[in-house]
Chains A and B, each alone.
Chain A
Amino acid sequence: MFDLIISKYNYWIYIILMMIGFYAMIGKKNLVKKIIGMNIFQTAIILFFISTASKKGGTLPIIMHGHGAHAVKAASYINPLPHVLMLTAIVVMVSTLGVALAIVIQIYRRYNTLEENEILRLNK
Chain B
Amino acid sequence: MMLQAPVLIVVIPLMFTFVALIFGLWKKGLCYPIVLIALSLSFLATLQTLNIVITSGIIHYRLGNWNPPWGIEYVVDYLNAFVLPVISFVAIMVAIYSKKSVEKELSDKVVYFYCIFLLQVTGFLGITVTGDMFNLYVFLEIASLAGYALITMGEDGAPFASFNYLIFGTIGACFYLLGVGYLYAATGSLNMADLARLLPDLYGSKVILVGFSFFMVGLAIKMALFPLHVWLPDAYTYAPSSVSALLAPLMTKVGAYVLIRVIYTVFKPYFSIEILPAATILCWIAAAAIIFGAAMALAQTDLKRMLTYILVSEVGYLALGVGLGNRNGLTGAILHILNDAFMMLALFMVVGAIMYRHGGRRISELRYLHKKMPFTMAVFVVAALSVIGIPPTCGFFSKWYLILGAINAHGWIFVAVLLASSLLNAILFFRVIENIYLEPHDGDIVENHDMVAGAEESPLTMLVPILIAGAGILSLGVLSGKIISTIIQFAIPAGF
Contact = CB atoms under 8 A, between A and B. Distances in A.
A11 to B, nearest CB: 10
A110 B162 CA distance: 14
Contacts of B171: 22, 25, 41
A49 interface: yes
A99 B137 CA distance: 17
Nearest to B158: A106
Nearest to B135: A88
Interface residues of A, number: 30
Interface string A27-56: 000010010001001100100110010000
Interface in A64-105: 81-82, 85, 88-89, 92, 95-96, 99-100, 102-104
Contacts of B280: none
A109 B423 CA distance: 44
A85 B190 CA distance: 10
Contacts of A48: 178, 181
A7 interface: no
Interface string B150-172: 00100011011011001100110
Nearest to B148: A99
A104 B163 contact: yes
A88 B149 CA distance: 20
Secondary structure of the A side of the interface?
helix
Given A22-B171, A88-B134, A92-B141, A103 B166 contact: yes
A7 to B, nearest CB: 16
Contact of A100 (B166, B178, B190): B166
Contact of A103 (B137, B163, B181): B163
Given A34-B167, A38-B167, A45 B145 contact: no
B174 interface: yes
A110 B156 contact: yes
A119 B141 contact: no
A119 to B, nearest CB: 5
A45 B141 contact: no
A107 interface: yes
A88 B138 contact: yes
A42 B178 CA distance: 10
Q: Which 10 A-B pairs have the closest CB atoms?
A: A106-B159, A52-B185, A92-B141, A107-B159, A103-B163, A99-B148, A49-B181, A103-B152, A99-B145, A103-B159
Given A42-B174, A89-B137, A92-B138, 17 more contacts: A25-B167, A31-B163, A41-B170, A45-B178, A48-B178, A52-B184, A88-B134, A92-B137, A92-B173, A95-B145, A96-B145, A102-B152, A103-B162, A106-B152, A106-B159, A107-B160, A123-B157
